[in-house]
Amino acid sequence: MEDILAVDVSPAMLGAGLARHNAASPTSLSGNAPALRAWTGDIESVPTYQGPVDAVFFNSVFGNVHDQRGALDAASGLARPGGRVVLSHPLGRAWHGRLRAADPEAVPHALPDAGALDALIAGLPLRVVSLIDEADCYAAVLEVPPGFALPAPLLLEAPVVAGFGRGSRQLGTPTANLPPDQVVGAFGPAGPSLGVYFGWARLLDPDPEGSAPADAAPYPAVLNVGRRPTFEGQAGGDLTVEVHVLHRYAADFYGRPLRVAVGGFLRPERRFAGGVPALVAQIAADIGMARAALGGPEHAGLRGMVE
């Protein structure tokens, strides 16, 4: 069996689902055994640490979801890179339309047709893979962008500049800001995809009076290249390149050059409606994904690029 997280606003419905499942295939809920877990609440209340998941299914429910765009945004954030979001209704548009006519309060939305679907996901990190919209069957398959190893690793090197002073104080993740104009050229003529990358980072020119020598070693890192829409409003602020090094340094290192070898892209930047706690949980997940990717054979040579 697969790992499944069942999500419903109704504890009674969740209980019924769990009872039916456990009767059919009793499993241990302890340890790392694949299991059916339950979360009471709507999709936007599911914390990121429950993911990342291969796929999010909205089966026979999407028309009942009041904030469909918010739900899709939350779903895209729970899915792994390349993961899917599926909207399905096995009885299709005609049946759903009659249900909606009978109780428009419980079913505020029609199933989205191709145009409505495009409008719903505009600006979200989702694309339509396929859409079946027939009288007796509805299924829309959406995909979040795949995490990708870059065609070749990128090398960034620039002195660390001051940012907003928010990384360490508000988020618990200090980010060494690099001047964007000195580093975005490395991402090619089309510029960087805004989002989170992983790689190795090393501080150059160790200051004899400052950091301990050990601080000049290469360490794993996560980078955000983006406009911080969680803080700066939907459109975001100026482009920043921020590197959170997975190491506890003895002292701050403003002005010192930082060299970063970027190995791949983890996810697009998002606006977190849940604010700081939601972003902090996502960054923790990003760090886990980065460590896993850096530990794999695909990126074995990356560390050497910053040495």
Cα dist from 168 to 28, 172, 248, 252, whole Å: 40, 5, 12, 11
Q: 249 touches which of ligand RBF, ligand ADP, Mg ion, none (CB within 5 to 8 A by kind)?
A: ligand ADP
CB < 8 Å & 24+ apart, contacts of 286-290: 286/196, 286/198, 286/222, 287/222, 287/244, 287/246, 289/52, 289/147, 289/198, 290/198, 290/220, 290/221, 290/222, 290/246, 290/266
Q: Least distance (Å) from ligand ADP to the CB of residue 147?
A: 22
Applying the rule CB under 6 A, the residues between 161 and 190 that interact with ligand RBF are: 163-164, 166-167, 171, 173, 175
Size of the site for ligand RBF (CB under 6 A): 22
245 binds ligand ADP (CB under 6 A): yes
Which of 84, 202, 228, 303: binder of ligand RBF (CB under 6 A)? 228
Q: 145 touches which of ligand RBF, ligand ADP, Mg ion, none (CB within 5 to 8 A by kind)?
A: none
Rg of the Cα atoms in the chain: 22
238 binds ligand ADP (CB under 6 A): no
Q: Is the dihedral of CA 115, 80, 263, 202 positive or negative?
A: positive
- The rounded distance, in Å, linking the Cα atoms of 142 and 47 is 21
Q: Which is nearer to ligand ADP, 100 or 202 (CB)?
A: 202
Q: Which of 2, 242, 269, 307 is catalytic?
A: 242
Active site residue 242: yes
Residue 21: other Cβ atoms inside 10 A: 17
Q: 224 touches which of Mg ion, ligand ADP, ligand RBF, none (CB within 5 to 8 A by kind)?
A: ligand RBF
163 binds Mg ion (CB under 5 A): yes
The helix/strand/coil state of 105 is coil
Residue 248: other Cβ atoms inside 10 A: 8
240 binds ligand ADP (CB under 6 A): no
- The rounded distance, in Å, linking the Cα atoms of 265 and 188 is 14
226 binds Mg ion (CB under 5 A): no
Residue whose structure tokens are 């975005």: 184
180 binds Mg ion (CB under 5 A): no
Which of 8, 143, 215, 286: binder of ligand RBF (CB under 6 A)? 286
283 binds ligand RBF (CB under 6 A): yes
Which of 93, 160, 269, 278: binder of ligand RBF (CB under 6 A)? 269
DSSP for 174-225 reads: --EEE-HHHHGGGG-TT-PPSEEEEEEEEE-S--TTSS-GGGGS-EEEEEEE
Q: Least distance (Å) from ligand ADP to the CB of residue 166?
A: 6
Active-site residues, by number, are 242
The residues of the shown chain that bind ligand RBF, judged by CB under 6 A, are 163-164, 166-167, 171, 173, 175, 196, 222, 224, 228-231, 242, 244, 269-271, 279, 283, 286
